[in-house]
A and B are shown apart, each in its own frame.
Chain A
Amino acid sequence: MTGVGATSGAGQEQGRQTPALEVEGLAFAYPDGHQALFGVDLRIERGERVALLGPNGAGKTTLVLHLNGVLLPGAGRVHVGGLPVARAHLKEIRRRVGIVFQDPDDQLFMPTVTEDVAFGPANLGLRGAELEARVKAALTAVGMDGYADRPPHHLSFGQRRRVAVATVLAMEPEILVLDEPSSNLDPASRRELADILTGLDITMLMVSHDLPYALELCPRAVVMNGGAVVADGPTAQVLADTELMAANRLELPYGFDPSFTRTK
């Protein structure tokens, strides 16, 4: 670790609890031989909101796909709420880790919003009134309960992104993983989504190139590059470290000063 050091922010006080997510020495190479991860260590405490930053090709997506067992580690271990990610309990792992993918058109594949939100909890075995309640609660949480019977392709992009979040919330995950949640959103939709996400009482890992968004939503930031974690600390400090930023191809928008908004 370099730069702003290895302190992991808000999680330190409750350090003795089982962490929401624990990744130790994770290494992975794709079948074609391309090695994407070289020993990733990451610990996220319950209730933390963490931004995962880094240039394209840093291994962020590969790491995310390890969190719910879509990819299984070549070496190292991943624990979610104390449970190791392994074939034996993939179902429970996938309930605990909710991934919202970047393109809502990939995430929303059912004919109606309701059916799509119900897909996850139904796979967990929920039926009837319990399932309905889950769907309603998830759609209400993202402010989309008025659109239950609409086909997803009749919604605006921002609305689809919000429904995509609901599809995962309906599984009542322990950790919410968002891949580029602000991408392609217009400024108002981006703001609405931020309000929804900050209102959720859930552990969150947010992969993003949108650094102001990371600063706004996540007190802690982890920087990856070349398949390893290279920095981990309070987001404002990470973004203020110009050397670290330059070394990892991270750039703030023109005129943006992270120290200016630190109080968030």
Chain B
Amino acid sequence: MGAGHAHALYVEGTSPLHRLRPQCKVAATVLFVLAVVSTPREAFWAYGLYALILAGLVAVAGLRPRFVLRRLVIEVPFVLFAVFLPVVGQGPRVEVLGLPLAVDGLWAAWNILVKGTLGVAATVVMAATTPVPQILHGLERLRLPKAFTMIAGFMIRYADVITGEAGRMRIARVSRGYDPRWIWQARALASSAGTLFIRSYERGERVHLAMVSRGFTGTMPVLDELGATRSQWLAALAVPALAATVSATAWLVR
């Protein structure tokens, strides 16, 4: 049931990027994204450099460029509204292919699109070289509160189980000749959702029972001491440091 979902993002490999400790990769990704979003939007050349850095990482990780591009599609719903900014924007206008577009809107759309794409690309590279449990460990090592990483871990672990349950409920509904498609038929869906919530809640209780039975006292044991070496940190942070330099230069030459 549901096999393969957790590997949708991860690509098996042994590249230096795969071997790097997860906490280094998580920290480097966050810092890289920060450097990118703090770059002035007029500095086109800076964004070209960022894209080059990412392309270099993709090459080092041995990822297929087509895989990365395909994963980028996930940002489409989020940046869709950026497309409308030039149309609905106020202020001076410029004629593009016979359409009067707002200059401010164009800048805003470019800003969102380029920063969004670079940010998503950076996380795609990280996720493709780090298995999900490792990312959670990395966050834990970075002192993210344990409650967060635990909840995220349970969410990932039980997503398939709960999806499976929802699927079985849908089949049971359809099998009795009811397949709601319209908004006024939402009642059946709502009660299904309620049932699903209660079942998940009860599962939570049973999981807790199983945890308590194995000596759980409220804190997860810290298992692996996956400390990163100095050189690993240096190698990982070189990437955001480079990006930060680009960003700072872009501000200076503006």
Contact = CB atoms under 8 A, between A and B. Distances in A.
Interface of A: 65, 68, 70, 91, 94-95, 97-99, 101, 103, 105-112, 115, 118-120, 122-124, 131, 151-154, 167-168, 171
Contact of B221 (A103, A119, A154): A119
Contact of A151 (B6, B206, B221): B6
B221 A68 contact: no
A95 B161 contact: no
B157 A152 contact: yes
B221 A111 contact: no
Contact of A94 (B3, B156, B214, B221): B214
Nearest to A177: B213
A106 B136 contact: no
B208 to A, nearest CB: 9
Contacts of B207: 106, 109
Nearest to A135: B223
B214 A167 contact: yes
Nearest to B214: A120
B2 A119 contact: no
Contacts of A105: 158, 161, 203
Contact of B213 (A94, A122, A153): A94
11 contacts: A70-B209, A94-B215, A111-B136, A111-B157, A120-B215, A123-B215, A151-B133, A152-B157, A153-B3, A153-B161, A171-B215
Interface of B: 1-4, 6, 132-133, 136, 153-154, 156-158, 160-161, 203, 206-207, 209-217, 221, 223
Nearest first, the 5 closest Cβ-Cβ pairs linking A and B are A123-B215, A122-B221, A111-B133, A120-B214, A106-B206
Nearest to A106: B206
A95 B215 contact: yes
A109 B211 contact: yes
Contact of B214 (A111, A119, A153): A119
Nearest to A105: B161
Contact of B206 (A97, A101, A119): A101
A153 B160 contact: yes
B3 A115 contact: no
Nearest to A123: B215
A103 B206 CA distance: 9
A110 B153 contact: yes
A111 B153 contact: yes
B157 A110 contact: yes
B211 to A, nearest CB: 7
B206 to A, nearest CB: 4
B131 to A, nearest CB: 8
Contacts of B133: 111-112, 115, 151
A171 B214 contact: yes
Nearest to B156: A111
A152 to B, nearest CB: 7
B6 A168 contact: no
Output the residue of A95, A109, A110, A152 with the most chain B CB within 10 A.
A109
B223 A122 contact: yes
Contacts of B3: 153-154
Contact of A70 (B156, B161, B212, B217): B212
A109 B154 contact: yes
A124 B213 contact: no
A194 B253 CA distance: 74
A106 B3 CA distance: 18
Contacts of A101: 206, 209-210, 213
A106 B205 CA distance: 9
Given A119-B221, A153-B160, A106 B215 contact: no
A123 B157 contact: no
Output the residue of B3, B6, B136, B223 with the most chain A CB within 10 A.
B223
A118 B217 CA distance: 15
Nearest to A170: B214
A65 B210 CA distance: 11
A91 B209 contact: no
A107 B214 CA distance: 10
A30 to B, nearest CB: 14
B156 A106 contact: no
Given A109-B210, A118-B223, A124 B215 contact: yes
Nearest to A101: B210
Contact of A123 (B158, B206, B209, B221): B221
Contact of B217 (A112, A123, A171): A123
Nearest to B213: A99
B40 to A, nearest CB: 41
Contacts of A122: 221, 223
Contacts of A171: 214-215
A94 B154 CA distance: 23
A91 B215 CA distance: 6
A156 to B, nearest CB: 9
